Chain A
Amino acid sequence: MFGYYIDLAWRSLKRTPVLTALMVLAIGLGIGASMTMITVLHVMTEDPLPGRSAHLYVPHLDPLPVTYQQPENAPEPNDSLTWPDAMALLRAHRATRQAAMAGGTLLVTPQRANLQPFDINGRYATSDFFAMFGVPFMAGSGWTAGDDVTHAHVVVLAESLARKLFGDANPVGQTVELGNNGSAPNEFRVIGVTRDWAPRPMFYEDSAGKPYSDADEFFLPLTASIDLKLDFNGNFMGWGRGSGESWRTSPRISWLQFWVQLDTPEQVKAYHQFLVDYSAEQKALGRFQRPATNAKLYSMMGWLAHENLVPDDVRLQFWLAIGFLGVAMLNIVALLLAKFLRRSSEISVRRAMGARKRDIFVQFGIESALIGVAGGLLGLGIAQIGLWSIRQRPDDYAHLASMDPSMLIGTVLLAIVASVLAGLLPAWRACRVPPALQLKTL
């Protein structure tokens, strides 16, 4: 029976080739546009560290003065921590793991004769960084809490940088010369090599970075970077009057990112309470002015939402595409309705021969689904063209725009569901055609 319905549907669609083509084109355009945007949103809102992200949190303190006015289009100063606060949280050691970090760009002076000095991007961090984020090592390891205390000049390199600097030789134990541009380089001992590792988005960067394309090529102890006054490349934001101290350790300049690992809901609650208590204590000391309850604890996904990584434009494009799909579907409902009702006489003949309402309904449903499958395949092609054109754009996230298998299947499914939904009303109307009336006029 099913094969027979497919055959009937095929004949019926062939009878009106232009109209069928138009319907397929409309649903194809709608599906193509919406799947392009759904895919972009999907790759942009993916979990950067599957399996670990559920236990990662960001403490958020509010050391700003009561009178502080947030300038427009500027990063919020309390999205990062000041040095004294970061160190206090680190020393308190209330989480399973905790690390403070900041991004930096350094000049590396290679020892290989044929290489000019070049700039590399990386991270200054404290020792828990590697274990907390599960950074995969190829050789050696990260540094210890002891190295943080002694401000050890050690460095961990990413695979590609290690290969560039040392070729096939074992980099562990070698020395690397790193420094600010225009000042004397410092020697760092290589103690580990990580696989090239860049979560997407790069969740631990501050808002100055490009979370969909940046990658860290080196890691070294934050304390050593403070000692050597190594350049840092994120936002540093101050408030109030400075008192001549170095900006890095000032209690009124925020520039550090801080992450903690909390394994149980009880731990999360306790840590949030600890942040509130800490803020209250700082307020009593006169350093904080705002309510202690301003202290927050963001989950990883909550933090990404707070950082607003998905540009408004992308969201707008998504809604536009969905609107387009909606209009295309309305269009198909109207066309199918007209098409099915024109065949009232055919329906009544079939009903008179003993077909049940249900049979008529299924027959027309299959006809709509056929349009859906064709539209889905066309939509798949259009979505690929759409994604290809996005990949040509110089946007930070553009190179990520491509479909994975689940998206491919999703596209065809969405098309079939959309067109079957669109066919439901016309098919239902068609199967309620009273046979007798139609037969009389034949």
Chain B
Amino acid sequence: MEIRPILATLHKHKLTAILLTLQVAFTCAIVCNVAFMIIHRAQRVSIRTGIAENQLSVIRVEGTRQGANPQAQHAEDLGALRAIPGVESVVATDGSLPLSQNSSFYGVCPTQQALERAMQVQSLGAACVQPGVYVGSPGLIATLGLDLVDGRDFRADEFVQDDDPPVAIISQALAQRLYPGQNPLGKELYTGAKNPIRVIGVVKTLLAARLRTPGTDDYTMIYPQLPGGRMSALVYYVLRSAPQDRERVLKAARATLLKVDPSRIVGKGQTYSQIRARYFQRDTTMIGLLIASALGLLFVTALGITGLANFWVQQRTRSIGIRRALGATRGNILHYFQTENFLIVTGGVVLGVVLAIGLNLLLMKHYELPRLPLWYLPIGAVVLWLLGQLAVLSPALRASNVPPVVATRSV
């Protein structure tokens, strides 16, 4: 395919060709970055919590009677809730679950010395971390469906109410961070409490209640601590049931709790899936918007290419006729327009790649986005070439169908 005549034609239509090139360039820059943002968010949204997500429901209860004994109340509630058909197990917690945003983070050090140093400079320093902490009544590990990979579960006599817990179960990520390369079982956690807390078990994955910094979101501990201590009036019951029973179980749980003591404020309850969806709700909105805007941009650009190609075909009908009369095949004409489009899009893509990197730098500066991986750029280029070829196909076909006889007519 001879491209010199094409270049000559494009030179004649400089302005339009430049505009189209610019449009392709902007689209390429924006779509590359948008695609990157979509993938980035999708990864965030698909993070694993380590619990049996689709089998859990949570209901919040707030007592209003003064001087009630919380432990007796919880025992009575738990008994009543277990009796609901379809409920496999129930525990009382303080409302903190992965991605629930209801969080406590405590500073923890692997040694006494590290703790003292941290106290001195009033910051965690390099040795200590701030993991998320979960508490609950006996059966917490099993109800949440956590995978205990090492050590044992809590014994009933290890549960405390207001005191510091004697033992803890920690996540694998935290174990590796605090005691790299060692066996975490029997190691001690220094939190500033009177006695250090002994590690008796390790769970595979357990995500914190809020995502803070990537890489530390899996630093979590579980204490054998009963709710109803300092925050006496509030308790959250976590129920485990088959996924299809969740709504029904929640309804029944609410009725049951009000029957046990009607003077309380009992929430409607939520399935864990709803809690998770709420946490990522902004991200899912954003993913939807990003996809819509990327498609919209590509659509508008394809429109521009088709519209312009149509005009050019109409404009050059006569010269196409002359070329056909001089022996050009339909294929030649088709290829001519396809090549022309390819040249314009290539120009746009070259400029677009530069713009995409510039735009990414801007976004990194203002919106804490990571650097755009370079392999997005060739993919973006290929997408735009394909889009251009698709958009130009129908006008090019129409051009190739121009009969040679047109050349003999005046306008």
Contacts and interface: CB of A to CB of B under 8 A. Distances in A.
Interface of A: 19, 22-23, 25-26, 29-30, 33, 65, 67-69, 71-73, 107, 109, 116-119, 181-184, 239-241, 311-313, 315-317, 320-321, 323-324, 326-328, 330-331, 333-335, 337-339, 341-342, 393-395, 425, 429, 441-442
A338 B121 contact: no
Contact of B281 (A239, A241, A328, A394): A394
A391 B156 CA distance: 49
Contacts, number: 137
9 smallest beta-carbon distances between A and B, as pairs: A182-B233, A181-B233, A334-B19, A69-B123, A331-B304, A338-B311, A330-B23, A117-B64, A335-B307
A315 B282 CA distance: 13
Interface string B5-21: 00000000001100110
B314 interface: yes
Contacts of B281: 393-395
B234 to A, nearest CB: 7
Contacts of B310: 19
Contacts of A441: 411
Q: Which of B19, B263, B265, B297 has the most CB of A within 10 A?
A: B19
Contact of A68 (B15, B23, B123, B285): B123
A335 B304 contact: yes
A26 B293 contact: no
Nearest to A182: B233
Given A327-B301, A330-B19, A395-B285, 20 more contacts: A23-B307, A25-B303, A26-B300, A65-B122, A67-B123, A68-B122, A72-B212, A73-B213, A181-B63, A181-B64, A183-B66, A241-B119, A312-B366, A315-B367, A320-B289, A330-B304, A334-B23, A342-B311, A429-B15, A442-B411
B315 interface: yes
B22 interface: yes
B52 interface: no
Dominant secondary structure at the B interface: helix
B401 interface: no
B397 interface: no
A26 B63 CA distance: 58
A72 B212 CA distance: 7
Interface stretch (B26-34, B183-191, B247-255, B378-386): B26-34
A118 B266 CA distance: 11
Contact of A182 (B68, B210, B315): B68
A127 to B, nearest CB: 31
Interface residues of B, number: 56
Interface of B: 15-16, 19-20, 22-23, 26-27, 30, 34, 62-66, 68, 119, 121-124, 130, 210, 212-213, 232-234, 263, 265, 278, 281-282, 285-286, 289-290, 293, 296-297, 300-301, 303-304, 307-308, 310-312, 314-315, 363, 366-368, 411
Contacts of A395: 281-282, 285
28 contacts: A22-B303, A25-B303, A26-B304, A29-B296, A29-B300, A65-B122, A67-B123, A69-B123, A72-B213, A73-B212, A73-B213, A117-B64, A182-B65, A182-B68, A183-B66, A241-B119, A312-B368, A313-B282, A315-B367, A316-B367, A324-B300, A327-B26, A327-B297, A331-B303, A331-B304, A337-B16, A339-B311, A441-B411
A338 B310 CA distance: 10
Q: Which of A72, A119, A183, A333 has the most CB of B within 10 A?
A: A333
Dominant secondary structure at the A interface: helix
B254 to A, nearest CB: 14
Contacts of A394: 278, 281
Contacts of B66: 182-184
A337 B22 CA distance: 15
A330 B16 contact: no
Contacts of A316: 286, 363, 367
Contacts of A119: 62, 265
A2 B130 CA distance: 72
A376 B308 CA distance: 23
A23 B303 CA distance: 9
A69 B130 CA distance: 13
B64 A338 contact: no
Contacts of A29: 296, 300
B25 to A, nearest CB: 10
A334 B233 CA distance: 68
Nearest to B312: A338
A254 to B, nearest CB: 15
A311 B285 CA distance: 13
